[in-house]
């Protein structure tokens, strides 16, 4: 029977009751919800659909064909997890989620996918005719990926984590570019299947990306520094006649902050490499 499950098969109608048609393929009987039939079926009539075992352990066939099948990969959404079993993935069936076994998941349970995360899986049938989701291997990701253009440098993007390694995190972007996140470019390790917001910090000749989960330096500078940066950016000359040597009174009158706050803000901007202090002026650094 395991050659029938998880794929599209052709069946022949043999019986019915109030709610279901019963159809056979290779001597195996599947039920079809009558609500799915476009027109009434008759004894001997043929029906083609996706065969599976539902959550009540009934063999069922459906016209709602999921893109994820035996031998066919697709992204499914994680709906729940069980520590003793694995994670359940929605592949589009009304009464069956597919389990990705804990044997395929990280040994550290905090890195397991959570509800709403995405996994690229296909289906497999074991020797007991049980259906499982199985993770795509790295070869599959290379096959479906495309080469990123050099214009991606410094772009923000969304990416899905597909492999966790000691060396770093492997991801695939929404545009099917492959990326790598070194441990130094993240504050904590992302989960398998987690969708992350990342920034392109490097592009390899083969079109794979180096990514960072950390904000740009000027994006983490605080409110006072952000205010000074905005004033510089909107000034026609990109210059402010103030430095950390300016008087506390002048700083308070102009910016509404103390000299200590001003000095800290300027220090953040200097460290971020976006400004310079020259000739008693605070200047926006040219790109």
Helix (H) or strand (E) holding 248: helix 248-255
Q: How crowded is the C-beta side of 123, counted as CA atoms within 13 Å?
A: 28
What residue ranges define each of the domains in the chain, with the CATH number in brackets? 8-62 (2.40.50.330), 74-136 (2.40.50.140), 146-212 (2.40.50.140), 218-284 (1.10.10.10)
What is the C-alpha to C-alpha distance for residues 269 and 284, in angstroms, rounded to an integer?
Answer: 9
What's the whole-model pTM score? 0.76
pLDDT tens digits in sequence order for the chain, 287 residues long:
678 999 999 999 999 999 999 999 999 999 999 999 888 999 999 999 999 999 999 999 999 999 999 999 999 999 999 999 999 999 999 999 999 999 999 999 999 999 999 999 999 999 999 999 999 999 999 999 999 999 998 899 999 999 999 999 999 999 999 999 999 999 899 999 999 999 999 999 999 999 999 876 555 567 788 888 888 888 888 999 998 889 999 999 988 899 988 998 888 888 878 889 988 899 988 75
Short-list 155, 171, 279, CA closest to 216: 155
What is the C-alpha to C-alpha distance for residues 111 and 104, in angstroms, rounded to an integer?
Answer: 12
């Amino acid at each position: 029977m395991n050659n029938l499950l998880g794929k599209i098969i052709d069946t022949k109608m043999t019986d019915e009751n109030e709610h279901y048609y019963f159809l056979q393929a290779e001597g195996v009987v599947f039920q079809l919800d009558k609500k799915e039939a476009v027109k009434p079926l008759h004894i001997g009539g043929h029906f083609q659909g996706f065969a599976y075992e539902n959550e009540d352990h009934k063999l069922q066939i459906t016209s709602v064909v999921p893109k994820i099948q035996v031998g066919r990969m697709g992204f499914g959404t994680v709906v729940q997890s069980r520590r003793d079993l694995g994670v359940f993935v929605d592949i589009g069936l009304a009464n069956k989620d597919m389990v990705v076994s804990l044997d395929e998941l990280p040994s550290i349970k905090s890195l397991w996918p959570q509800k709403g995360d995405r996994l690229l899986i296909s289906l497999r049938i074991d020797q007991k005719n049980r259906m499982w989701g199985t993770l795509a291997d790295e070869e599959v990701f290379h096959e479906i990926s495309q080469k990123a253009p050099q214009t991606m440098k410094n772009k923000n993007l969304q990416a899905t984590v597909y492999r966790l390694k000691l060396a770093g995190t492997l991801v695939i972007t929404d545009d099917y570019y492959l990326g790598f996140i070194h441990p130094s470019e993240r504050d904590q390790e992302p989960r398998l299947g987690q969708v992350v917001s990342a920034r392109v910090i490097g592009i390899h000749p083969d079109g794979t990306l180096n990514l960072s989960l950390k904000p740009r330096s000027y994006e983490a500078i605080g409110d006072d520094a952000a205010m000074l940066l905005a004033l510089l950016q909107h000034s026609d000359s990109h210059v402010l006649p103030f430095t950390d040597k300016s008087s506390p009174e002048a700083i308070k009158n102009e910016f509404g902050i103390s000299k200590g706050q001003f000095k800290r803000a300027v220090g953040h901007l200097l460290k971020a490499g976006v400004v310079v202090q020259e000739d008693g002026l605070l200047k926006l650094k040219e790109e």
